[in-house]
Structure 1
Amino acid sequence: MSNSEDEDLPQLSSHALAALQEFYAEQKQYTDLGGDDKYNIGIIEENWQLSQFWYTPETALRLAEEAVAAAGEGGRFAIYGEEFIFYDYNNPVDLPEKIAAHSFDIVIADPPYLSEECLRKTSETIKYLTRGKILLCTGAVMEEEAAELLGVKMCTFIPEHTRTLGNEFRCYVNYDSGLDRGL
């Protein structure tokens, strides 16, 4: 490769690289402690009946990088185990007591259905959890409802899924985001 080709290769920011290294370290630590590989995210299959559609690795990494950047200094993300909290959008604020209102630097949400009802209920949870920053991934058809309910605007970044979906998906944010600057 020539030098100009090397310069065109995408590179992770220092924050994203640190988050990725932390993720790998936690995975290794879990495995070293006798953890079972069945708990790795890559093993969990999509469930179309539950409206679960996985993002491509590139999209997942881009969203993770955005979350790390938006959370800023001191922001952390837990991955597995006791940190998992069951959530049902039909009960928007039925959350454990340990989850305080407005306790998250950024909330990333991907409602399971493209309906006003689902987005409205998910929005209740988002507003309860966030200190202010919202990153919403949902269908392009939900643009008006997302703006009305959450004050978010569509980004130029287009999330991709591992399988072809019938609906165009988009990202929406309510803050100055790298997803709009092509970073």
Structure 2
Amino acid sequence: MTNNDDEDDIPSLSAESLKALQEFLAEQSLKENKLQNHLSSCGDSLIGTSDFEENWQLSQFWYDDFTAQVLSNEISRAAGGSGKIALISCPTLYKPVKHLCGSNEVLLFEFDKRFSLYGSDFVFYDYNEPIAVPNDLAKSCDVIVLDPPFLSEECLQKTAVTVKFLAKDKIILCTGAAMERLAEKLLGVKKCKFEPRHKNNLANEFSCYANYNFDEFVTNNKEKT
């Protein structure tokens, strides 16, 4: 086979497809530049997930504002003024939790390195390496909120290993309703009445679970407001 034959085997884009690809890449580059300009002008404390597009390849789906508010209020109440808070694979919550819990240590365990902009609050996390987290965090987190990125038994099982390593007290889990039995078995959590929602609706039924009476406090919170 000649070199010319090899070249003939290499697929090539049509002019129309090439133009569409170039336009897409240009648009992504423009968005990235706008984001970087915004981040440099506003400072880390004002950066929220609204500044980032969901990466569906990483199975990212941002909570809607109501869900983020309910969860953040309960996290703040449960942690008190000094409890350490761990947010695992739920970057939507970082900004509102940080706002409400200024005196608490809030750690975001996240695979997406875009969120390393949160500085020392960011802990790179890959659920495939569940105990590849700082040893000094063992049994140190008063409130842990987790939202495993993939709706699979393997993902929940591995993330649960991380939770058990970090957990000191309360656990709040947001995941598919199909995970109910496994979630109870692995983490001792029960399904709550509260139903988390997303800005972009998910096809799978989504639920909230906790290892304490989450609904009682959320209901009381609503009655007071």
Shorter-chain TM-score bucket reads: 0.7 to 0.9
Residues 77 and 45 (structure 1), Cα distance of their counterparts in 2 relative to 1, 3 Å cut: farther
Structure 1 counterpart of 2:121: 83
In 2, distance between residues paired with 1:89 and 1:179? 31
For the residues of structure 1 that align with 2:127 and 2:72, how far apart are their CA atoms?
A: 22
Q: Is the 8 Å Cα contact of residues 66 and 179 (structure 1) preserved in structure 2?
A: no
**Structure number having the greater helix percentage:** 2
- Which of 43, 48, 54 is 1:46 aligned to? 54
Q: 2:131 aligns with which of 84, 93, 98?
A: 93
Q: Which amino acid aligns with 1:35?
A: G
Q: What is the SS of the residue equivalent to 2:137? A: coil
Q: Are 1:115 and 2:143 matched, yes or no?
A: no
Q: Is the 8 A contact 2:74 2:218 kept in 1?
A: no
Superposition TM-score, scaled by structure 2 size: 0.62
- The equivalent position to 2:43 in structure 1, one of 9, 20, 35, is 35
The aligned amino acid for 1:57 is D
Q: Secondary structure of the equivalent of 1:92?
A: coil
Identity of aligned residues (%): 49
Q: Distance in 2 between matches of 1:176 and 1:72?
A: 16
Of the two, which has the highest radius of gyration? 2
CA distance in 2, matches of 1:67, 1:37: 19
Preserved contact between residue 157 and residue 180 of structure 1 (Cα < 8 Å)? no
Give the alignment's Cα RMSD to 1 decimal: 2.4
- TM-score calculated relative to the size of structure 1: 0.75
Task: Give yes or no for the alignment of 1:135 onto 2:172.
Answer: yes
1:37-76 aligned at under 5 Å gives the runs: 39-75=47-83, 76=104
Gaps (5+ residues) in structure 1?
Answer: 1-30
Shift of 1:37: 9.1
Q: How many residues align?
A: 152
Query: 1:150 pairs with 187, 205, 212, which one?
Result: 187
Deviations 1:42-70 (A, max 9, x none): 21111111100000011011111111111
In structure 2, the CA distance between the partners of 1:81 and 1:179, relative to structure 1 (3 Å rule), is farther
SS of 2:106's equivalent? Answer: coil
What is the CA-CA distance between 1:33 and the residue it aligns to?
Answer: 8.7
The AA in structure 2 aligned to 1:164 is N
Task: In structure 1, give the amino acid aligned to 2:43.
Answer: G
**CA shift for structure 1 position 164:** 1.3
Residue 163 (str. 1) matches residue 212 (str. 2):
no
